[in-house]
């Protein structure tokens, strides 16, 4: 334990004590579901299969969340957290070539503008930030940041490769790390992170076995399948982190990001009924785009395939919805983009010329939110809306605006300029970088 304590000193501890705490406004929860789309959720709601998503839409305001090219998750989730375009925030791709001429993933060190948790910190408010994109190394803000490098690093160490002490800097403040590592070690010892058990407990099909049955000659064709067990484990670890920090009472903003269902959608067409799959596959590379009728049918069929994955996330959502209702807090459920079937396949980037990027989702519930109202919103509106809901000034140079339309009680909008206060020095972590690049390759995002 002495090592943890020394690390805590080395990294410095939170300075929130010196900040004045603003009058308490309702807490704000944000759940990020990468790639979630109403195109797939709505047909399932209509069949009564996703009661929690249905309740979100009926009880709160919702939008087809407008997004912007390139719909690369690292770029868009940073826009969501900053309220700014990629030109301003500086995360313009998955990776860049560093000074050693190596391809490395973007890290929080390259961010040029403050994220919502830094703005909270500036006003003496605490945030819990779990697994948000481009958060390694984590910012030294008051509250807790479990960076997007934590799960992969922890999983690797738990499998006996690597030293836990090397992972302390994936979490802020560093004294959180040993607590989390104890929880994960216990899960690991019980076999809870093993693939067959994950499949069973998440109540989702064993897609790897199913793929081998359907395409026995072709197992190597789908690189995602080799990293799928890790993605399931990350998702389960994220559930555990969410459960753990929901129990802590001292936070004003709670942000948790899930890479589901994006990862699944990238290979989900393989699980469409064989004959239909071949029919829809004929559109890939074809000169004519599928008609709206074909797309409707496709979305209905894809909804059936995706149901287990979305149902799995409803367990988590219902927990957070319950909590938000009880506390009279706000909850935003957000995605960075949807998916679209086209001549480029079922994807969200590299679409045919002139095709706008597919919308993400937004659902907002809270004490004074008009029920069932459809609104217009974009990914840039999320950060200013969070600031507004917390009674704070909105960033004057943000590209979005606070979503006032769904609120019955409105205050004047104040503005201020926020600056990135605690710029993290870049850290070289070739092992973690290698793992991230391997996953990006398996998803077809980089070559």
Closest to Zn ion by CB, 180 vs 332, is 332
Torsion sign over Cα 54, 56, 58, 59: positive
Smallest separation (angstroms) from Zn ion to the CB of 259: 8
Pick from 93, 108, 104, 198: nearest CA to 146: 108
Q: Which is nearer to Zn ion, 113 or 334 (CB)?
A: 334
Complex with Zn ion: residue 335 or 424, whichever CB lies closer: 335
The Cα–Cα gap between 313 and 33 comes to: 9
Question: Least distance (Å) from Zn ion to the CB of residue 369?
Answer: 26
Closest-approach residue to Zn ion (CB): 73
147 vs 157, beta carbon nearer Zn ion: 147
Shortest Å, Cβ 336 to Zn ion: 4
Which of 340, 360, 334 lies closest to 296 in space, CA to CA?
Answer: 340
Please write down the HEC assignment for all residues of 50-65. CHHHHHHHHHCEEEEE
How many of the other CB atoms lie within 10 Å of CB of 162? 16
Structure tokens at 30: 């944000």
The position carrying tokens 């709206």 is 292
Q: Write down the least CB distance from residue 57 to Zn ion, Å.
A: 21
What does the alpha-carbon distance between residue 10 and residue 165 come to, in Å, rounded to a whole number? 13
Distance from C-alpha of 268 to C-alpha of 228, rounded to nearest angstrom: 12
- Nearest Cα to Cα of residue 49 among 342, 296, 290, 305: 305
Q: 11 or 349, CB closer to Zn ion? A: 349
User: For residues 39 and 336, which CB has a smaller minimum distance to Zn ion in the complex?
Assistant: 336
Q: Which residues bind Zn ion (CB under 5 A)?
A: 34, 73, 262, 336
State the nearest-atom distance from the C-beta of 445 to Zn ion, in Å: 9
Helices first, then strands: H and E counts in the chain: 16, 15
* CA gap 178, 183 in Å, rounded: 9
Cβ atoms of 146 and 241 closer than 8 Å:
yes
Backbone angles phi, psi at 399, to 5 degrees: -95, -5
Gap between the Cα atoms of 224 and 231, Å rounded: 10
Nearer to Zn ion, 139 or 336 (CB): 336
Tokens 């995002």 label which residue? 445
Pick the closer one to Zn ion by CB: 188 or 442.
442
Quick one: which of 260, 227, 242, 234 has its CA closest to 158? 234
Helix 382-389 and helix 73-82: axis angle, to 10°? 30
Cβ-based nearer residue to Zn ion, 32 or 384? 32
Nearest 5°: the CA angle 54, 60, 61 is: 105
* 66 phi/psi in degrees, rounded to 5: -65, 140
Least distance in angstroms from the C-beta of 314 to Zn ion: 20
Residue closer to Zn ion by CB (options 34, 139) is 34
Minimum Å gap between C-beta 2 and Zn ion is 41
Between residues 41 and 140, which has the closer beta carbon with respect to Zn ion?
Answer: 41
* Phi and psi torsions of 69, nearest 5°: -75, 150
CA–CA gap between residue 150 and residue 184 (Å, rounded):
11
């Amino acid at each position: 334990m002495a090592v943890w304590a020394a690390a805590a000193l080395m990294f410095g501890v939170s300075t929130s004590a010196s900040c004045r705490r603003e009058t308490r406004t309702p807490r704000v929860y944000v759940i990020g579901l990468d790639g979630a789309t109403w195109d797939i959720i709505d047909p399932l709601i209509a069949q009564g299969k996703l009661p929690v998503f249905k309740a979100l839409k009926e009880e709160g305001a919702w939008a087809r969340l407008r997004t912007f090219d390139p719909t690369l998750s690292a770029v868009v989730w940073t826009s969501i957290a900053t309220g700014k375009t990629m030109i301003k925030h500086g995360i313009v791709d998955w990776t860049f070539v560093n000074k050693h001429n190596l391809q490395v993933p973007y890290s929080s060190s390259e961010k040029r503008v403050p994220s919502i948790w830094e703005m909270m910190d500036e006003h003496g408010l605490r945030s819990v930030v779990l697994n948000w994109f481009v958060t390694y190394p984590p910012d030294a803000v008051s509250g807790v940041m479990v960076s997007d490098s934590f799960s992969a690093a922890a999983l690797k160490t738990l499998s006996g490769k690597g030293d836990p002490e090397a992972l302390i800097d994936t979490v802020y403040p560093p004294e959180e790390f040993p607590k989390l590592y104890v929880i994960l070690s216990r899960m690991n010892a019980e076999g809870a992170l093993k693939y067959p058990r994950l499949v069973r407990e998440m109540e989702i099909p064993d897609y790897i076995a199913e793929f081998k049955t359907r395409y026995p000659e072709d197992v190597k064709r789908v690189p995602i399948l080799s990293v799928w067990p890790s993605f399931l484990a990350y998702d389960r670890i994220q559930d555990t982190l969410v459960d753990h920090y929901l129990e802590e009472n001292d936070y004003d903003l709670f942000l948790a990001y899930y890479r589901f269902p994006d990862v699944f959608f990238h290979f989900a067409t393989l699980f469409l009924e064989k004959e239909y799959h071949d029919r829809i596959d004929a559109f890939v590379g074809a000169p004519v785009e599928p008609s709206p009728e074909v797309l409707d049918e496709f979305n209905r069929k894809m909804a059936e395939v995706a149901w287990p994955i979305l149902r799995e996330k409803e367990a988590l959502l219902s927990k957070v919805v319950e909590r938000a209702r009880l506390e009279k807090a706000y909850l935003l459920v957000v995605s960075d983009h949807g998916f679209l079937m086209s001549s480029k396949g079922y994807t969200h980037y590299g679409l045919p010329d002139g095709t706008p990027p597919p919308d993400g989702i937004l659902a907002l519930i809270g004490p004074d939110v008009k029920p069932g109202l459809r609104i217009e919103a974009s990914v840039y509106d999320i950060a200013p809306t969070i600031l507004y809901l917390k009674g704070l000034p909105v960033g004057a140079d943000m590209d979005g605006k606070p979503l006032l339309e769904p609120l019955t009680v409105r205050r004047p909008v104040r503005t201020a300029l926020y600056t990135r206060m605690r710029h993290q020095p870049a850290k070289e972590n070739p092992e973690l970088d290698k793992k991230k690049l391997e996953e990006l390759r398996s998803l077809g995002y980089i070559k």
